[in-house]
Amino acid sequence: MPNNEREYDVIVIGGGPAGENAAAYAIAGSDRTAVIVERELVGGECSYWACIPSKALLRPGHVLAGARAMDGITATGLDVEAVLRRRDSFVDNHDDGSQVKWAADNRIDIVRGTGRLTGERQVEVDGQVLRARHAVVLATGTRASIPEVPGLRAALPWISRDATNLHEIPRRVVIIGGGVVACEAATWLATLGAEVSMVVRGARVLASAEPFASERVVAALTERGVRVLFGTEPRSVDRPDAKNTGEGRIHGGPVTVRLHSDQGDTEIEADEIIVAAGRTPATEGLGLAAVGLPDGYVQVDDHLTVREVAGEWLYCVGDLNHRAALTHMGKYQARVCGDVIAARAEGKPLTDARFTASADHGQVPQVVYTAPEVASVGLTEAAARDAGHAVETAELDIAVAGSALARNDFAGHAKLVIDTATDTLLGATFVGPEAGEQLHAATIAVVGKVPLATLWHAVPAFPAVSEFWLRLLETRRA
């Protein structure tokens, strides 16, 4: 083999959580070899620029609010510097040494650079040729989109990476968007002292969630002083002295955003602008054309295999396959994908359920770490009806002994979406403090297709917050 060529059983392009798990699962318990090609940090968007820093920024505010809502405690904060230091420690100060060590411990090589498909089972990285005996896995994820608004790109707006890695708190911030990133960023920015305006195109935030989630999150944001502008779009952006001062630093002087809504046009001045308006597949330089694939998201079957390419050697996991753009679902796909690669390498049939990604069809859990948190799994009522299910719902405010004991100001709401044909849950949404930790019960009920008649015998402990499950089930007797 030429000097600049190396052969592995498995090549993974993109070393985020999905790529890492695919590599690890594909070779676990075997003598197969794997390499991860990564052009930034091993650990990926989630570890350094998304889930981890955002939750590190949000959690202190949640804890402080909980302490303030409890008698007998005097709590002050937040000390912004301490919160930012904690965030820095969670992102390992952008040093991926611990992830590299994890890879080494799992016999996975790391190659730094941009991996480019150049043919069947072949990847090039800066002139080095990697050949795969079994599989190439694409796991490059997505990057922030910047919409085509005059002056916006020139204003050097913050994207989610700046917001999660902020080093100074802009006094006034405009956030373009109303999705998860926008709502979470608004929450921590307001908690850390910024004056926040959100520019939301539609009539609610978190548009794919149950409508009450939007209502409760918006009410809470508003109470913190966040101004939420619905039905509003940016028309132009003006920032005369934009300069790239580095990630998470304020990118120049004040920015003026001209807005349009049915109520008329207006403008906002702020010290920073954040674009949280969706994601686009990160396929630059990936060489999809070399294997006959169009640019854009990469379609896979339930074995995470790219069917458009012959030979069952190309896979795609994580955000890039556009099935469920969440770290935990990417990792889930990666576990399935790694198991599939291993089975095919060993000539085993894919009959077991673990070789099929079933949960990213309508059984996807998600937690939005706003205050209150929004936790959901499966289908909303609207999505279930759209999908043709005969649906009943159970719904109520979470107000049980456990919630009152948990904190004086507990306010929450819960909804179950029930398939009347099978008497099982299609989905659930819980909004409230720490609602994220209530979700797994619903996820198990949805995925396990546990009939409601059986859930009746799954008794919540008293006095836990989870007693709201009993109240939900009780609404269905009448």
Of 38-57, binders to a second copy (CB under 8 A) are 46, 51-52, 55-56
Amino acid letter for position 455: L
Stretch that binds a second copy, among 67-75, 105-113, 114-122, 209-217 (CB under 8 A): 67-75
Q: Which of 14, 287, 432, 436 binds a second copy (CB under 8 A)?
A: 436
Q: Which is nearer to a second copy, 229 or 324 (CB)?
A: 324
Token pair 């770490």 is found at 369
According to the binding rule CB under 8 A, does residue 71 interact with a second copy?
Answer: yes
Q: If binding is defined by CB under 8 A, does position 418 make contact with a second copy?
A: no
Task: From 19, 370, 364, select the one nearest 226 (Cα to Cα).
Answer: 370
Question: Site map for a second copy, 392-411, x if CB under 8 A?
Answer: ---------xx-xxxx----
Binders of a second copy among residues 294 to 353 (CB under 8 A) are 326-329, 331-332, 352-353
* E strand or H helix at 132: strand 128-138
Burial pattern 424-450, b for ≥16 Cβ within 10 A else e, equals bbbbbbbbbbbbbebbebbbebbeeee
Q: Whole-angstrom Cα distance, residue 410 to residue 72?
A: 17
Q: Which of 293, 298, 316, 359 binds a second copy (CB under 8 A)?
A: 359
Residue number with CB closer to a second copy (205 or 367) = 367
Give the nearest distance from C-beta 332 to a second copy in angstroms.
Answer: 5
Least separation in angstroms between CB 73 and a second copy: 4
Burial (CB < 10 A; 0-12, 13-18, 19+), residue 58, is: buried
Q: Which of residues 265-294 bind a second copy (CB under 8 A)?
A: none
Min dist CB 254 to a second copy, Å, is 28
Question: In this chain, which stretch among 75-83, 133-141, 218-226, 379-387 interacts with a second copy, using CB under 8 A?
Answer: 75-83
CB of residue 466 vs a second copy: minimum separation in angstroms?
4
For residues 15-34, which are near a second copy according to CB under 8 A? 17, 28-29
- 77 binds a second copy, rule: CB under 8 A: yes
Can residue 466 be called a binding residue for a second copy (CB under 8 A)?
yes
- Three-state DSSP class for residue 182: helix
Give phi and psi for 471, each to the nearest 5. -65, -40
- φ and ψ of 302, to 5 deg: -75, -5
88-96 contact pairs (CB < 8 A, 24+): 90/52, 90/53, 90/56, 91/47, 91/48, 91/49, 91/52, 91/53, 91/56, 91/165, 92/43, 92/47, 92/48, 94/41, 94/48, 96/41, 96/42, 96/43, 96/47, 96/48
**Which are the contacts of 476, defined by CB distance < 8 A and separation ≥ 6?**
392, 394, 418, 452
Residue bearing tokens 């650990």: 43
Q: Which is nearer to a second copy, 80 or 146 (CB)?
A: 80
Number of Cβ within 10 Å of residue 144's Cβ equals 22
CA atoms within 13 A on the CB side of 140: 26
195 burial (CB, 10 Å; 0-12 / 13-18 / 19+) is middle
Binding span for a second copy by CB under 8 A among 85-93, 107-115, 253-261, 291-299:
85-93
**Partners of residue 314 on adjacent β-strands:** 136
Q: Measured from the CB atom, is 176 or 367 closer to a second copy?
A: 367
CB of 344 to a second copy, least distance (A): 17
Site for a second copy in 441-460 (CB under 8 A): 441, 443-448, 450, 453-460
C-beta of 120 vs 302, nearer to a second copy: 302
Q: How many residues bind a second copy (CB under 8 A)?
A: 85
By CB under 8 A, name the one of 186, 320, 364, 431 that touches a second copy: 364
Q: What is the DSSP letter of 305?
A: B
- Euclidean distance between CA atoms 39 and 27, whole angstroms: 22
Residue in 190, 367, 371, 394 binding a second copy, rule: CB under 8 A: 367
Stretch that binds a second copy, among 98-106, 230-238, 254-262, 465-473 (CB under 8 A): 465-473
From the list 162-170, 205-213, 253-261, 466-474, the region that binds a second copy by CB under 8 A is: 466-474
Find the shortest distance in angstroms from Cβ 441 to a second copy: 4
Comparing C-alpha atoms, which of 364, 359, 373 is closest to residue 54?
A: 373
> Which of 163, 211, 215 shows the shortest CA–CA distance to 190?
163
Rule CB under 8 A: say whether 203 interacts with a second copy.
no
Closest distance to a second copy from the beta carbon of 253 (Å):
29
**CB of 290 vs a second copy, minimal distance in Å:** 33
- Decide: 204 and 216 in contact? Cβ < 8 Å: no
Select the residue interacting with a second copy from 6, 86, 107, 131 (CB under 8 A). 86
